[in-house]
């Protein structure tokens, strides 16, 4: 019975390892082809907004007697129209999303710096300070190179995130495999 459980666990670890390798390869492709991955990410966001708009419209009609019907309809139209605009005009969407990302990072960087100085009496407050500085610099880099960086920024960042996720998954799977092999060798001894 132990070998069956061990075999099932090993199969799960192998599947996890294969998924990790696949995700790593996809991350490498996304970083290597940032313009393609930027278009893909922008299209994905457009489809999510269109789907959300349709879901909100359905919800508005299901709850029309509970109040706020007009606002629910307007909100669903906003979601749907924004999604369609991003889908029909992808380059405009990429420009807009890149500018929003730069603005978000600039704002987050400022907030992180404020937080760091509020945490200053605490030990290791410099980690928050470093995070704020890096985030602020990234936001400034995006903002000051906009619109020239728009075709590659989002794709590169998504690619790095996917690559990091894949590597993490591979390493965790290899660690689990090693732990399982050590456990099996200890049990058999």
Asked, for residue 95, whether it belongs to a domain, the answer is: yes
185 within domain boundaries:
no
State the total domains in the chain: 1
Q: Is residue 43 a part of any domain in this protein?
A: yes
Please check whether residue 187 lies inside any domain of the structure: no
Dihedral-angle region of residue 67 (phi above 0 means left; psi in -120 to 50 means alpha; beta otherwise): left
From CA 3, how far away is CA 187, in angstroms rounded? 11
Q: What is the dihedral of CA 106, 109, 114, 115, to 10 degrees?
A: 140
> In this structure, is residue 163 part of a structural domain?
yes
H or E element that contains 50: helix 34-62
User: What pLDDT tens digit does each residue of the chain (189 aa) get?
Assistant: 445 555 656 677 788 889 989 999 999 999 999 999 999 989 999 999 999 999 999 999 999 898 889 999 999 999 999 999 998 999 888 999 899 888 988 998 899 899 889 888 887 888 888 988 988 988 898 889 888 888 898 888 888 888 888 888 888 888 877 877 777 777 666
CB 53 within 8 A of CB 108: no
By the 8 A CB rule, do 18 and 174 touch?
no
In a domain, 188, yes or no: no
Q: Is residue 186 part of a domain?
A: no
Residues 102-134 pLDDT 10s: 898 899 889 989 988 988 888 788 888 898 898
Q: Is residue 13 part of a domain?
A: yes
Q: Which helix (H) or strand (E) holds 56?
A: helix 34-62
Number of other residues whose CB lies within 10 A of the CB of residue 187 = 9
Domain range for 18: 2-180
Q: Are 97 and 42 in contact (CB under 8 A)?
A: yes
């Amino acid at each position: 019975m132990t070998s069956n459980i061990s075999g099932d666990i090993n199969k799960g670890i192998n599947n996890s390892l294969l998924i990790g390798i696949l995700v790593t390869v996809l991350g490498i492709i996304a970083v290597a082809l940032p313009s393609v991955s930027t278009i893909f990410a922008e299209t994905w966001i457009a489809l999510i907004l269109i789907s959300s708009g349709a879901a909100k419209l359905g919800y508005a009609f299901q709850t029309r007697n509970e109040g706020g019907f007009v606002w629910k309809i307007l909100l669903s139209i906003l979601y749907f129209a924004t999604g369609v605009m991003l889908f029909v005009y992808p380059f405009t969407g990429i420009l807009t999303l890149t500018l929003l990302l730069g603005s978000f990072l600039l704002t987050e960087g400022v907030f992180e710096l404020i937080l760091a100085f509020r945490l200053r009496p605490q030990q290791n407050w410099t980690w928050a300070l470093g995070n704020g500085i890096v985030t602020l610099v990234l936001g400034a880099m995006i903002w000051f190179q906009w619109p020239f960086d728009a075709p590659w920024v989002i794709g590169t960042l998504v690619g790095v995130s996917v690559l990091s996720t894949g590597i993490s998954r591979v390493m965790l799977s290899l660690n689990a495999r090693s732990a399982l092999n050590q456990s099996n060798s200890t049990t058999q001894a």
